[in-house]
Amino acid sequence: MEAAPRAVEQHTSQRYFFSLDIAKFICALLVIIIHTRPFAECSGIIDFYLGDVAARIAVPLFFAISGYLFFSSLRYRNGKICNCPENREKLWRYLKKITLIYIQWTVVYTLFQLPQWYQIGWWGKTLAKDFTVSFLFIGSYFHLWYLLALIYALPLLYLLLLFVSVRHLRVVIPLLWVGECLLYSYSWIGIDNIAVLSWLTGHFSAVFDAVFRAVPLLGIGILCMAGKEKQPKKIYLYTILSILACAAEASLLHFCTVNSSKYSYLFCTPVMTYFILQMLLGITTSGNLWLGGVCRKSSLVIYCLHPLILRILVWMGVESKLFLWFLVTVLTVFVALCWVIAREQIQKRRSSQ
């Protein structure tokens, strides 16, 4: 059995942050804004700064919070993850949980789409082949790429930190993020013209998202884990400045280039994500554990469920963007809260028997 001197072995302390639970809930609501664009019919400027700037922090912060919460639960030695059964078990449990969630929501959206696929003739072996590729390498539904990227990225970063110290993430993150920006928000400079790269990103997008997007953003959470006890005194100022820098970069891309609706992952995004998460970790106000748990659990349900409710409302004929956003938000939050609270009650009854 592997042993290590206490002087060099570290086990990160577990702390509860009510602010992270509330932030995840707000991020889920911001994703609804991205997909419904409530002010698109009213003002192009408001729509841009709300849907393409303010709301775009949601997914990066989701990744960073996940990175912080998971990797802060592991054991470390000299800045590296300990190769011990305890850590491997935590990794396996987390991957199993995320994979099951991905499979469950894949079943939901597949059953929802089957009649349409049958109607257009997309059936048989062609459907089976295309669906398998999408399920494994792209995402079974457009927003479920997040779960698939997390499934790939988490073990990649775990394996990396078995051999590389956490401090080296300050080099790894910028290098990978440059690749992400060139593949996404700055692809208009011509990288899409590389045929092989374009084919790979088109057929294995979840793998690219995991390596160049999810790994750096999960790493941001780890860097915040290392520095949460010594926050800069001007953390709120740095956070505001980083948000303004992201807004300025997005504005330049929107008004001065041919970039089209790709503002989620900019050069300034990791810096902004880092300072927002640091700010959240510095909020020491205690909150209700039950309320925090409900917000945390319902945030993932809201993220996974809202496209289904959106499709149903559009099918029912709701046309107004603002009204559509309102209905999707209210109905999704209501269903998610009912689902989470009902599951908690069922678990309590089972544990009491």
Quote the CA–CA distance of 81 and 71 in Å, as a whole number: 9
pTM given for the model: 0.92
- On average, the pLDDT of the chain sits at 90
Ordered DSSP codes for 63-113: HHHHHHHHHTTSEEETTEE--SHHHHHHHHHHHHHHHHHHHHHHHHHHHHH
Q: What local confidence, expressed as pLDDT, does residue 15 receive?
A: 65
Burial of 48 from C-beta contacts in 10 A (0-12 / 13-18 / 19+): buried
pLDDT digits (tens, 9 = 90+) for 135-164: 999 999 999 999 999 999 999 999 999 999
Mean pLDDT computed over 24-36: 97
Q: Which residue has the tokens 């001065």?
A: 256
pLDDT of residue 245: 97
> What percent of the chain has pLDDT above 90?
75
Q: What are 96-109's pLDDT values in tens digits?
A: 999 999 999 999 99
* More confident: 1 or 31: 31
What is the structure's pLDDT at 5? Answer: 37
pLDDT, residue 6, reads 38
User: Does 229 have pLDDT greater than 80?
Assistant: no
Q: Which residues of 204-227 are buried (b: 16+ CB within 10 A; e: fewer)?
A: ebbbbbbbbbbbbbbbbbbbbbbe
pLDDT-derived band at 12, boundaries 50, 70, 90: very low
Tell me the pLDDT tens digit for each residue of 164-173: 999 999 999 9
Q: What is the pLDDT of residue 260?
A: 75
pLDDT tens digits, one per residue of 131-141: 999 999 999 99
Mean pLDDT of 229-246: 86
Percent of the chain with pLDDT over 70: 93
Average pLDDT over residues 286-302: 88
Find, among 196, 195, 282, 203, the residue nearest to 235 by Cα. Answer: 282
Mean pLDDT for the stretch of residues 67-73: 95
- Domain ranges, ordered by start, for the chain: 9-288
Report whether pLDDT(330) > 80: yes
* Structure-block tokens of residue 24: 């995840």
Alpha-carbon distance of 101 to 210, in angstroms, equals 17
8 Å CB contact between 23 and 224: no
Model confidence at 352: pLDDT above 90: no
Q: Residue 304: name the closest of 150, 141, 95 by CA.
A: 141
Predicted pLDDT at 60: 97
pLDDT score of 4 more than 90: no
More confident residue, 11 or 5: 11
The radius of gyration computed from the CA coordinates of the chain, to the nearest angstrom, equals 21
Q: How many CB atoms lie within 10 A of CB 346?
A: 10
Rounded to an integer, the average pLDDT of 222-230 is 71
Q: Give CA angle at 332 (44, 280), nearest 5°.
A: 75
Task: Determine the distance from the C-alpha atom of residue 4 to the mean position of all C-alpha atoms in its chain, rounded to a whole number.
Answer: 35
**pLDDT in the model for residue 230:** 58
